[in-house]
Amino acid sequence: MDHAPAPLALPGGAIPLLGLGTWQADGSDAERAVSTALQLGYRHVDTATGYGNEAQIGRALAQVGIDRDDVFVTTKLPPDHGDRARRTLLESLAALGTDHVDLWLIHWPPSGQASPHVWEELRRARDEGLARSIGVSNYSVAQIDELVAATGEAPAVNQIPWSPVDHDPALLAAHRERGVVVEGYSPLRRTDLSAPAIVAAARAHDATPAQVVLRWHVEHGVVVIPKSVRRERIEENLGALDLTLTPDEVAAIDALAG
């Protein structure tokens, strides 16, 4: 992976820019997908309590035999579990077979609100060593500011839907001004892979349109977690780290946001 980017720094340890998403991956499919991904070279796995697959992911982590500290593991707190946050995390850790996660996120703003009291629970768990870094998912910049105003600490990460049509330089800049890493989900489902700018870049680099979209995220410093349970697709997605887009190609894909 000659063009593989350096992981991004978080307070508790660096996050690889490309990871495996596991939403809708169930049972043996989830376990097999994570095992396959780790064997192929992924070192970042994203799950959530709400996905119901933490135990399968834990089995894959145990069986592949890679040092726990070499794999970045994320899980998420359901928004209605704020009153039992620590207990929920302990259950997640037991299912995952680990004594900590690398990143713990509030999955959605509880009742649509920033909920600084829940953020305080994540901070306590982090300080206890149960999570190395903490963050949020599906939060607005205003909600992030509310957490900062209440606690003095910004989330390390905000995981949000992201793709070329979602590209918003001002939104990225607002996160960076606050020291918040943007992590994008649903990168391919939200993208028209037949868009001329994507197809042209794929042809120029002997790559697939999906690889181009994932590399576009990387070029912008946006962490991306495509999901799949198919070995060929998991391997294809990892291949995004083997190409580099030109500034003109990046700009042409940026323009898809209109």
Catalytic residues: 51
Number of Cβ within 10 Å of residue 99's Cβ equals: 10
DSSP 24: T
E strands, 113-198, where? 131-137, 157-161, 181-185
Give the DSSP per-residue string, 174-193.
HHHHTT-EEEEE-TTTTS-T
Q: Within 13 Å, how many C-alpha atoms sit on residue 6's CB side?
A: 4
Ordered DSSP codes for 194-229: T-HHHHHHHHHTT--HHHHHHHHHHHTT-EE--B-S
